[in-house]
Amino acid sequence: MKYSNEHSFAEAADAQDPLSKWRDEFHIPEVDGKKALYFTGNSLGLQPKRTKDYIDQELTDWSNLGVEGHFEAKNPWFSYHEMFAEPVSRLIGAKSTEVVVMNNLTVNLNLLLVSFYRPTKDRYKIICEAKAFPSDQYALEMQVRCAGYNPAEAIVEVAPREGENTIRQEDILAAIKETGNQTACIMIGGVNYFTGQVFDMKAITQAGHAVGAMVGFDLAHAAGNIKLELHDWDVDFACWCSYKYLNSGPGGVSGVYIHERHCENTSLPRFAGWWGHEKETRFLMEKGFRPMKSAEAWQMSNAPVLSMAAHKAAIDIFDEVGMSSLVEKQKKLSGYLEFIIDDINDRLMNKAENRWLENITPRNWDERGCQVSIVAHGYGKAMFDVLMAAGVISDWREPNVIRLAPVPLYNSFTDVFLFGQVLETAVKR
């Protein structure tokens, strides 16, 4: 698209947008009686209007059926999680037997590491990105400690080079090669939460397998944001939350992917529960865990149906829209946000006076999703506070980053233009 910082351009782009109708499927928060400019779907996605009906259906069945709802409800609770296998597998590029929805994100990450971080005396290191989300850091640290190793020695972090904000792909691959057969596991955030950088998961997986390591990803900022092909990329394991781009509500359930070769390996160590036991003999209540030959084998407990109802409302929307269409708009929308920020920089900011907006998110569309992270030099947190007061709901991250995520399902080109108007007013203060 040839962008223009004009209201007429934004209105015309919205009029031509085939996904514009989906905005009406979501509740938009209001600030001072006006719809907010909501750019923090990378932290908590907006509520689909159909969510209430989905949850009410389960409450009605619970009220009318009691325990019989496990088998007699409109969506039987006993098998509720099975409804996600097909649509979620399409969302992340997997086979339906390779996915399961359960628990919350960091719980699932720890459960997966029990299976896929199996250190030995010679092969015990984990490679991850520097400044990973704290939950990932804590999970890796404690997995290493529980295995009897020192995190300072066992965890290898790949950081940006001096003076750079993002991590070079060649530096990740070099670290994998250098650590070599000492590497037990590679666990990286598929999209970095701080900068919005998308990592080349296919290349990382190939490099990890070349040195004999297991390779997994935290896809909290990737699922519902970028195109994923986990099975074809040969990724060993992955997990993600559902409350960011997937719009499934605060604390929403998490998704898990496990490559079919591991699903079929029933001797693979794991933590077990009744719900992961083979279905044919589950109700015999016998001793001896016999895992299913699917990702469901990692599911220890039955489905949290009310939370999953909210998730189903959102997943149904994604399945109706399709990731290809979302990614196409995502690129145009985040590109327009970059253009607006660049335009304000060119017209109003002065680097010599240390007043400028630094975009620390990669410009290459293959290396970013919705998110654009900026540093407001010369303004800091005060800039964020001004934006919030003016009805722009975004996200502040220490020490000095404002994260903005124009989400294609419910954000518009007009949203981005109006944000630029607020931003321009703020820099003139």
User: Computed from CA positions of residues 243, 192, 236, 112, in that sequence, does the dihedral angle turn out positive or negative?
Assistant: negative
Location of structure tokens 């409450």: 59
Q: Are both 299 and 351 inside the same structural domain?
A: no
Q: Are both 100 and 26 inside the same structural domain?
A: no
How high is the pLDDT of residue 348?
Answer: 93
Q: 180 lies in a domain?
A: yes
How high is the pLDDT of residue 18?
Answer: 97
How high is the pLDDT of residue 181?
Answer: 97
Q: Are both 152 and 69 inside the same structural domain?
A: yes
Is 318 within 8 Å of 60 (Cβ atoms)? no
Extended beta strands in 219-288, E state: 237-240, 254-258
Structure tokens at 270: 């794991």
Q: 47 lies in a domain?
A: no
Q: How far apart are CA 127 and CA 191, in angstroms?
A: 16
How high is the pLDDT of residue 399?
Answer: 86
Q: Are both 365 and 234 inside the same structural domain?
A: no
The answer to whether the peptide bond before residue 29 is cis (omega within 30 degrees of 0) is no
Residue 231 CA, distance from chain mean position: 17
Q: 172 lies in a domain?
A: yes
Amino acid sitting at position 315: I
How high is the pLDDT of residue 34?
Answer: 94
Structure tokens at 128: 């991850």
Give the CATH number, domain containing residue 343: 3.90.1150.10
Structure tokens at 394: 């975004």
Query: In a 3-state reduction of DSSP, which class is residue 81?
Result: helix
How high is the pLDDT of residue 380?
Answer: 83
Tell if the pTM clears 0.75, that is, is over it: yes
List the chain pLDDT tens, one digit each, 429 residues.
899 999 999 999 999 999 999 999 999 999 999 999 999 999 999 999 999 999 999 999 999 999 999 999 999 999 999 999 999 999 999 999 999 999 999 999 999 999 999 999 999 999 999 999 999 999 999 999 999 999 999 999 999 999 999 999 999 999 999 999 999 999 999 999 999 999 999 999 999 999 999 999 999 999 999 999 999 999 999 999 999 999 999 999 999 999 999 999 999 999 999 999 999 999 999 999 999 999 999 999 999 999 999 999 999 999 999 999 999 999 999 999 999 999 999 999 988 889 999 999 999 988 999 999 999 999 988 899 999 999 999 999 988 899 999 999 999 999 999 999 999 999 987
Cβ neighbours of residue 280 under 8 Å, at least 6 residues apart?
none
Domain boundary residue among 287, 321, 355?
321
Domain boundary residue among 321, 352, 367?
321
User: Looking at the 3D structure of the chain, how many domains does it have?
Assistant: 2
Q: How far apart are CA 371 and CA 337, in angstroms?
A: 10
Q: 40 lies in a domain?
A: no
Q: 390 lies in a domain?
A: yes
How high is the pLDDT of residue 221?
Answer: 98
Q: Are both 208 and 287 inside the same structural domain?
A: yes
How high is the pLDDT of residue 1?
Answer: 84
Q: Are both 30 and 69 inside the same structural domain?
A: no
Question: Residue 136: which domain range?
Answer: 53-321
Domain boundary residue among 321, 351, 374?
321
